[in-house]
Amino acid sequence: MKHIIRLANETHRATIEVDLLESPCDVAPYLTIDGEPVGDTYTELSICANISEFTSSGFWREYSIGQCADSVRTLFKDVTGVSELCDLWDRWHLNDLTAGTRAQQEALRLPDFDPKAVEYRGIPDHYASACKYLETRGLNPDPAVVIGEGTHMKPGPYMYGHAWLVDKIPAEVEKRIEELCKLLETT
């Protein structure tokens, strides 16, 4: 289901596109972040926004485009439902492009993980930092999530970032996203 939400105030206006798509499961390894088979289809969430601002010279100009949930949240904080939609946007956007298993993601949220621990040519390398950190915690590979035969991947425990895993959106979250979109489409 596609929703177009238009918000405006005296200084800014935004168009937010929310897509809840029923997608075929056609990308190996066909697993969720918990190592379960995805099934034939799953729901994918994609949200993006286009924000314009009114200038002192009396013209509208582009302010922010794409993944700008923080800007939407700040600029339209007085609009009922915006903050909650932005929270869901932050949590579930592109839920079928998850690099880590549930255990790997939880470990990377721990306070001792330093995403700048490893550098490549003087630039922090988040991926290499994550892999190194997960190895120290016995989670790279994650022994609880095993890639089976019949995919293009080497069978065995899942290595962080070696494929896209699906973080399935719970039915109550899908329902709430639909409710918020309908509320905000009438604002």
Are 92 and 105 within one domain?
no
**Average pLDDT, integer, range 99-124:** 96
Over 80: is that where the pLDDT of 148 sits? no
Q: What percent of the chain has pLDDT over 90?
A: 84
Residue range of the domain that includes 143:
100-163
- Global confidence as pTM: 0.86
User: Are 6 and 76 contained in the same domain?
Assistant: yes
9 with 89, same domain? Answer: yes
pLDDT in tens, 33-53: 999 989 899 999 999 999 999
123 with 146, same domain: the answer is: yes
For residue 142, CA distances in Å to 14, 117, 133, 145, 159 come to 41, 21, 12, 6, 6
- As for how many domains the chain has, the answer is 2
**Is pLDDT of 65 > 70?**
yes
Q: Which candidate, 145, 112, 144, 143, places its Cα nearest to that of 129?
A: 112
| Whether 72 and 5 share a structural domain | yes
Instruction: State whether 120 and 81 are in the same domain.
Output: no
Tens digits of residue pLDDT in 77-104:
999 999 999 999 999 999 999 999 999 9
**Average pLDDT along the chain:** 93
